[in-house]
Chains A and B, each alone.
Chain A
Amino acid sequence: MAAFPIISNFQYDFVLQLVPVDTENTMDEVAAAAAHHSIGRRVVAQPDKILRVRRYGAEEFLPRDMKVADSGIEPTETIDIIFADE
């Protein structure tokens, strides 16, 4: 376990933000950590959607249960957090 800073590019928000996560966090946990700083602050919640994570500029989402340590994401790398149907 180790603290791990990522940069959140949260869909529909206006700014990139620093978000501290942990190498053992799954992508769902990363998305939830990022959501804490955007949803209900400047972005409206969408309860019928789930939040998915992808590396910045990538088209494919990372598996929801993938851990940060296994994702290839570098410290302070920007990731997109996107509202998705599944």
Chain B
Amino acid sequence: MAMIERTEWYDLLRATNWTPKYVTEDELFPEEMSGHRGIPIEDWETYDEPYKVTYPEYVEIQREKDAGAYSVKAALARDKFLERADPGWISILQAHYGALALAEYGAIVGEARMARFSKAPGNRNMATFGMMDETRHAQLQLFFPHANCKLDRKWDWAHKALHTNEWAALAGRHFFEDIIHSRDAISMGIMLTFAFETGFTNMQFLGLAADAAEAGDHTFSSLISSIQTDESRHAQQGGPMVKLLVEKGMKADAQRLIDIAFWRSWKLFSVLTGPMMDYYTPMEHRSQSFKEFMQEWIVGQFERSILDMGLDKPWYWDQFLRDLDETHHGMHLGVWYWRPTVWWNPRAGVNPDEREWLEEKYPGWNDTFGKCWDVIIDNLVNDRVEQTLPETLPLVCNMSNIPIVGTPADGWNVKDYPLKYKDRLYHFGSEPDRWCFEQEPERYADHLSFVDRFLAGMMEPMDLSGALKYMSLAPGEIGEDAYGLAWADIYKEMAHKKAG
């Protein structure tokens, strides 16, 4: 049978809306789910997604991608890479899978909302592919780590993490529920695909794919690259939404959504990706520092894309650029110090040569974060391990739900950004975090942070053991130092030589 050329039917297909007969248009596309903002459906039909694909093309491409990722995994299974990999690299994988695998399932819901409720037929078409993308990502990132469960229970956290009340999982859920699960299709499309995926997914996936290849983990590298190529397609759905809102005089609305989602994304990446790139990845395998990567892939590209859309840089842009030098160092120090509270084994990453690298990439590191590590190292050298473990909780931000940190020692600038709302005292880690809350206080006001839950008596007993139980962290899953503290031996030798 002769096939009609794609060019002859594609535009008609992707721009077709139907005329409802049994319900009204408003019933078919209720504003609270659709988010059409009163823009007529004819205008939504002008929505023009940059990347176009047909279903047969999609299936063919995805089949090849899946075949590639699964065959690399199968081919390298006997290589037993994980049994010789640096423990820091394994921690990266375990942290990554736990934080993201089930979040991909969450993203399916977001894509489904656009596929059902967007008034733009082109958006509905692309979101249908997006749903299938996210399904593939969730399945891949559950299947790959599952094969390793026999090695270590921490691999099981790919499936488990987001079902628990572990603090990082709480932070992830709070973020994804804000930008995906509780927004209309258009707000969600802008926040998830434009701000989070365009802005940050590149970071996690391109950066990690490069580091994975360097580290010799070709299975993970091919998996991540396979996912990234889907992301780069479906992340383009938000752009035309922003364009239409700007054309219709709703720039402030689009700007606010992006400003919230970008800041919230940044905070999550500062605790997850920053430590991975600058501390967990063995130094010889680092392609760029976290800051360099952010500057190249986020700052440059995202800045261009928002200005191209007729938007402005977020109001906190200067602070964001300054924070690239600081925030993730504090997050790393916190995660390492409170290591029993995470499902992976944090790698300290502060050997003398690593400190030299940190000082080169972040001038002043030794006089600030380095001074906290000096105290920790002194404790390890003198066998005071108990002093390197927590006896209380760090305060977590009521927006990002991650610890409130700053620069210590000579650059001491730790700040709280409190807010009293309806007689409750909230704490925020930055002015933009507090600003996010103030945009819509009732959206966030009832949420209890990890510390709020502790104080409300939700953890019994009220100590670390009760907190670990609340987080579902069982023996074998509780985080420890990635090297069992053996990295401090070099400092013991140095102290021994110095003593003479």
- B412 and A18: CB pair below 8 A? no
B380-409: contact bitstring with A at CB < 8 Å (1 yes, 0 no)? 000000011011111100000001111111
How far is A77 from B416 in the complex, measured between Cα atoms in Å?
A: 10
B455 at the interface (CB under 8 A from A): yes
Select which of A18, A41, A75, A76 is within 8 A of B394 by beta carbon: A18
**CB within 8 Å for A14 and B391 given contacts A7-B416, A43-B375, A56-B418:** no
B454 at the interface (CB under 8 A from A): yes
Task: Kindly provide the distance from the CB of A82 to the nearest chain B CB, expressed in whole angstroms.
Answer: 10
B427 at the interface (CB under 8 A from A): yes
- B376 and A17: CB pair below 8 A? no
- A19 and B372: CB pair below 8 A? no
- 5 A-B pairs with the lowest CB-CB distances in the bound complex, closest first: A14-B408, A16-B395, A42-B372, A78-B416, A16-B404
B121 at the interface (CB under 8 A from A): no
**CB within 8 Å for A14 and B454 given contacts A42-B372, A78-B416:** no
Apart from A13-B408, A19-B392, 11 more pairs, CB < 8 Å: A11-B412, A13-B372, A14-B414, A15-B395, A16-B427, A37-B392, A40-B379, A41-B387, A42-B376, A42-B408, A77-B418
- A44 and B455: CB pair below 8 A? no
Q: List 24 A-B contacts (CB under 8 A).
A: A7-B416, A9-B415, A9-B416, A12-B412, A13-B414, A14-B372, A14-B405, A15-B334, A17-B392, A17-B393, A18-B395, A20-B392, A40-B379, A41-B375, A41-B376, A41-B379, A41-B387, A43-B375, A44-B374, A75-B425, A77-B418, A78-B395, A78-B416, A78-B427
Q: Which A residues are in CB contact (< 8 Å) with B374?
A: 44
B330 at the interface (CB under 8 A from A): yes
The number of chain A residues with a CB under 8 A from chain B is 26
How far is A24 from B1 in the complex, measured between Cα atoms in Å?
A: 89
Select which of B388, B390, B407, B414 is within 8 A of A9 by beta carbon: B414
Of residues 1 through 48 on chain A, the ones whose CB sits less than 8 Å from some CB of chain B are: 5, 7, 9, 11-20, 36-37, 40-44
**CB within 8 Å for A42 and B375 given contacts A13-B408, A14-B330:** yes
Task: Kindly provide the distance from the CB of B332 to the nearest chain A CB, expressed in whole angstroms.
Answer: 10
B268-300: contact bitstring with A at CB < 8 Å (1 yes, 0 no)? 000000000000000000000000000000000
Interface size bracket, B side: 35 or more
Instruction: Name B455's closest neighbour in chain A (CB-CB).
Output: A5
- B408 and A16: CB pair below 8 A? no
Interface residues of B (CB under 8 A from A): 330, 333-334, 337, 369, 371-372, 374-376, 379, 387-388, 390-395, 403-409, 412, 414-416, 418, 425, 427, 451, 454-455
Q: Which B residues are in CB contact (< 8 Å) with A40?
A: 375, 379, 387
Instruction: Name B404's closest neighbour in chain A (CB-CB).
Output: A16
Q: Which A residues are in CB contact (< 8 Å) with B407?
A: 14
How far is A78 from B414 in the complex, measured between Cα atoms in Å?
A: 11
**CB within 8 Å for A17 and B395 given contacts A5-B455, A7-B416, A9-B416:** yes
Instruction: Name B451's closest neighbour in chain A (CB-CB).
Output: A18
Q: Which B residues are in CB contact (< 8 Å) with A41?
A: 337, 375-376, 379, 387-388
The tally of CB-CB contacts under 8 A between chains A and B is 95
Q: Which A residues are in CB contact (< 8 Å) with B376?
A: 41-42
How far is A50 from B296 in the complex, measured between Cα atoms in Å?
A: 46
How far is A75 from B427 in the complex, measured between Cα atoms in Å?
A: 12
Task: Kindly provide the distance from the CB of B432 to the nearest chain A CB, expressed in whole angstroms.
Answer: 17
- A42 and B337: CB pair below 8 A? yes
Of residues 45 through 86 on chain A, the ones whose CB sits less than 8 Å from some CB of chain B are: 56, 74-78
Q: Which B residues are in CB contact (< 8 Å) with A74?
A: 425
How far is A36 from B404 in the complex, measured between Cα atoms in Å?
A: 19
How far is A78 from B388 in the complex, measured between Cα atoms in Å?
A: 24
- A44 and B371: CB pair below 8 A? yes
Q: Which A residues are in CB contact (< 8 Å) with B393?
A: 17-18
**CB within 8 Å for A76 and B412 given contacts A41-B387, A44-B371:** no
Select which of B414, B425, B451, B455 is within 8 A of A15 by beta carbon: B414
Task: Kindly provide the distance from the CB of A34 to the nearest chain B CB, expressed in whole angstroms.
Answer: 10
**CB within 8 Å for A56 and B455 given contacts A13-B408, A17-B395, A18-B392:** no
**CB within 8 Å for A37 and B391 given contacts A74-B425, A76-B425:** yes
How far is A42 from B376 in the complex, measured between Cα atoms in Å?
A: 6
How far is A78 from B419 in the complex, measured between Cα atoms in Å?
A: 12
How far is A37 from B338 in the complex, measured between Cα atoms in Å?
A: 12
Q: Which A residues are in CB contact (< 8 Å) with B425?
A: 74-77
- B394 and A16: CB pair below 8 A? yes
Task: Kindly provide the distance from the CB of A40 to the nearest chain B CB, expressed in whole angstroms.
Answer: 6
Q: Which B residues are in CB contact (< 8 Å) with A44?
A: 371, 374-375
Task: Kindly provide the distance from the CB of A81 to the nearest chain B CB, expressed in whole angstroms.
Answer: 11
**CB within 8 Å for A15 and B416 given contacts A37-B391, A40-B379:** no
Task: Kindly provide the distance from the CB of A53 to the nearest chain B CB, expressed in whole angstroms.
Answer: 15
- B408 and A76: CB pair below 8 A? no
How far is A77 from B379 in the complex, measured between Cα atoms in Å?
A: 31
Task: Kindly provide the distance from the CB of B417 to the nearest chain A CB, expressed in whole angstroms.
Answer: 10
Instruction: Name B397's closest neighbour in chain A (CB-CB).
Output: A16
How far is A37 from B387 in the complex, measured between Cα atoms in Å?
A: 9
Task: Kindly provide the distance from the CB of A76 to the nearest chain B CB, expressed in whole angstroms.
Answer: 6
How far is A80 from B60 in the complex, measured between Cα atoms in Å?
A: 61
Task: Kindly provide the distance from the CB of A18 to the nearest chain B CB, expressed in whole angstroms.
Answer: 5
Q: Which A residues are in CB contact (< 8 Å) with B454?
A: 18
